């Protein structure tokens, strides 16, 4: 294989059969359980990188089902997003994500810088309760529950929330182990089609774990919960800050 062939064909690893195809990446019937809670402000400040600004000591814990995802298949993820402000615009900093399938883990980390690790999350309906769980190996580290479809939310409110930018800390090491890329990346969701949104009573429990430390941002008070279903396109990102420059 000639060097020019490598340059023309190289998209992702492995060269001959990448773990995921090129985008765009469309998600159909993407379902969220988002539980918003108040946490310790000092701990939160130590975890959110500058130049992002913390709006208030709040975390959104998410359980997400993705049954129909272009190039990534059928999978579930769970993790934490922190409401932040960047250059006067509000958005969400993705602090941690845990998934059960390889292609979206590889694609999420390599393309955007999503902080994804392999685990076993789930989101399901148990009679009259929406239940989200996260297991890391045999250990349960997160449990979220919400009354099923108690109060309908306006579609426009859901569309506005999904339309806010997301922020990621993308880190790619050099072959000697030093950081080759260390960037703040911004991304958006587009072509948003809201299929329903609800709120209701909710509870969230996080358990300490050495390698899935979601409980490091402790739950002091559950503030609200949202259950929503939408079709969205995950757009590619842009670098908005280079920590190595």
Which residues are tagged catalytic? 116
Q: Is 159 exposed, middle or buried (0-12, 13-18, 19+ CB in 10 A)?
A: middle
Q: Is 82 exposed, middle or buried (0-12, 13-18, 19+ CB in 10 A)?
A: buried
Structure tokens belonging to residue 181: 């890329």
Burial zone of 176 (CB within 10 Å; 0-12 exposed, 13-18 middle, 19+ buried): exposed
Rg (CA), the chain: 18
234: β partners: 25, 189
């Amino acid at each position: 294989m000639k060097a020019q062939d490598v340059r023309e064909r190289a998209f992702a690893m492995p060269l001959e059969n990448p773990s995921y195809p090129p985008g765009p990446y469309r998600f159909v019937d993407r379902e969220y359980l988002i539980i918003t809670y108040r946490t310790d402000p000092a701990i939160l400040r130590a975890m959110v990188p500058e130049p992002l600004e913390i709006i208030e000591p709040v975390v959104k814990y998410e359980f997400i089902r993705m049954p129909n995802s272009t190039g990534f298949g059928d999978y579930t993820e769970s993790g934490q997003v922190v409401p932040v402000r960047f250059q006067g615009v509000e958005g969400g900093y993705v602090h941690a994500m845990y998934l059960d399938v390889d292609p979206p883990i590889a694609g999420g980390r390599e393309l955007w810088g999503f902080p994804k690790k392999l685990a076993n999350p789930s989101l399901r309906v148990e009679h009259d309760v929406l239940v989200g769980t996260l297991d890391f190996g045999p250990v349960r580290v997160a449990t979220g529950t919400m009354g099923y479809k108690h109060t309908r939310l306006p579609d426009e409110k859901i569309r506005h929330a999904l339309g806010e930018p997301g922020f990621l800390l993308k880190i790619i090491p050099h072959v000697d182990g030093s950081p080759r890329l260390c960037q703040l990346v911004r991304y958006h969701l587009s072509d948003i089609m809201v299929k329903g949104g609800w709120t209701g009573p909710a509870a969230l429990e996080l358990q300490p774990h050495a390698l899935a430390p979601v409980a490091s941002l402790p739950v002091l008070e559950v503030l609200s919960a949202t259950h929503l279903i939408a079709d969205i396109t995950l757009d590619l990102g842009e670098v908005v800050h280079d920590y190595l420059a």
